[in-house]
Every structure is written in C-alpha cells, then in structure tokens.
Chains A and B, each alone.
Chain A
Amino acid sequence: MLTCQEVTAKASLMVDGELGFRERIAVRIHLMMCVNCRRFARQFQALVSSMASRNRLAAETIVPEFVDGVMQSIYRARESSSIPPGRDGE
C-alpha cells in the first residue's frame, strides 16, 4: 500500500501518463481510499492543465503594436540585405 507521501511523489508521472501498470493501479487504489490525496491529485492536475492553457490564452491576445514593430524590423532588414525590394510582388 502506497503512503500519501509516495503518491504525491508520483504526481507528475501520473499526470504525464507515465506510470507503469502496477503503479497506476496502486495509485488508483490509494486515491479511492484517501480524500486528501484525491484533493491533492485534482488540484495538481488543474495546475498543470492551467499552465498549458496559458499558452492557448496568450495566443489570442497579441498586441498589434508588437506586430507593427516586428514588421518594421523586417522591412529594415530587407532594405539592408541583398533581398531586392518587391520580392513579394507587392
């Protein structure tokens, strides 16, 4: 029987789906019986999932001024490079 401390030590392997079969069963049995570890596991999973969602949320919130600044840099680089103006046909 795993202890609570052992279950928390396996939390990352658990959320990453990297527990072996026996370990997975042992963790599940422990979680069925331990309300504290169930809470910990639920919150740990929520935290890890929220980190992934950060990137998706950020992807929706680009600042137009940043895009303009990058494009200006690219224009300058194009002017100072060997790439002829009008390469894009625009």
Chain B
Amino acid sequence: MNKNETSLVEGLRSGRTKAFHLAVTRYSASMLATARAIAGHANADDIVQDVWLTVFERIDSFEGRSSLKTWLQRIVANRAISYLRSRPPEVSRPGVEEDQSASDWFDASGSWILPPPVWHEDSPYALLAAEDLQDCIDKHLLDMPDSQRNVLVLRDIQQMNFAEICNELSLSASNARVLLHRGRMRLMKMVNHFEETGSC
C-alpha cells in the first residue's frame, strides 16, 4: 500500500466519515463495473451498496496484503457470484453453451475458409468509444454461461492473475484458461457479427 492508501485505511478503521466518502467516491465505479459484468445492471447497485456496508462493519479484517482496491474488488466479485448462485433455477441464466472453438471458420486443413472480417476500428480505445458495441458486449456478457463470464470479468476487466481467479472460483488453472478462451472467442464472434451487420 502507498502512503495515501495507508492513511485512507486508517481513516476507515477509525470510522471517519471523510475517509468513507473518499473511498466510496474513489472505488465505487470500478466496483460497479465488476458487479454489472457479473450480475447485471439491475443488481449491481444493491451489491456494491451491500459491500460498502460490509466494509464499514469489517474493515478491521483488511490485513493490507493486497491493495485496498483489490480487496474491495474481491469482495464485490464474491458477492456478485454468490448472488448468481443464489438465484432460483427459473431465474437462472446459465447461458447457451455453444461451440466456441471457431471450427466453422476453418477448412479441413485448418486454414481460414473466409478471411476474418475487417473491423472498422481495431484499437482498444476506438472499440471502447463505440457505445452500441459496448452495449452489445454487455448483453453478451450477461448471456454467457456464468463460469465463462466470471473468469472473463476477473481476468480481463479486473486484471486478476490466474492464481487469484482459481482461488476465488475454485477452478484448476487449465480449466480457467479454457473458460477464458471460450469467453473471449464468444466475444470475438459477437464483434465480428456486429462489424458485419451493424446489429447486436
């Protein structure tokens, strides 16, 4: 932890209102992004608000072995995943298990049947700036099987390492990598479709 963060944690432990206001302002947006990606927009606010109450009550359990932000993100991810697991079956959205091997892109010799479509923009920030595309990615994230989405969110959005992800989700490293690649390929197919048709 850097000096600023140490000071902030001391403020939280002392129950200072200013410290909580600063922490909520500083970290809520990324916490909401995680919660939205895992549990959907409709549930994210409640999950993050609930996490802040937990933090208020249990800040003493923060041992400082990771950054405060990482600790908060872990709590949010766990809470969002718990929420998904607690949903009744009729509400559950397990996602459609599709073949994400992209085998339909290749001929029997493993060569491209058709060249991959040329995207209008292929820089990360140009992709981010395309609001319709980002909305479409949100939709597809929620339609993914929970297992794929959880790994994808923790790895690609939260930038957690594989050891942390495997620990959080009780997965083997090889299983996590397979799920991550399937999730990414699912999004690649979605973006290809979006670029070709202009629709989600």
Query: A-side interface residues toward B, CB under 8 Å?
Result: 3-6, 8-9, 11-13, 18, 35-37, 39-40, 42-44, 46-55, 57-62, 66-67, 69-71, 73-74, 77-78, 81, 83, 87-90
Contacts and interface: CB of A to CB of B under 8 A. Distances in A.
Question: What are the 5 A-B residue pairs with the smallest beta carbon separation, nearest first?
Answer: A3-B110, A49-B124, A88-B16, A51-B156, A5-B110
Interface string B1-41: 00000000000001111111100110011101110000000
A90 B101 CA distance: 59
A36 B118 CA distance: 10
A42 B48 CA distance: 35
A76 B125 CA distance: 41
Interface of B: 14-21, 24-25, 28-30, 32-34, 45, 48-49, 52-53, 56-57, 101-103, 105-106, 109-112, 115-116, 118-119, 122-125, 127-128, 134, 152, 156-159, 177, 180-181, 184-185, 187-188, 191
A67 B23 CA distance: 10
A77 B53 contact: yes
Contact of A48 (B25, B57, B123, B184): B184
Contacts of B119: 43, 46
B16 A90 contact: yes
A57 B32 CA distance: 12
A18 B174 CA distance: 12
Given A43-B116, A88-B18, A13 B24 contact: no
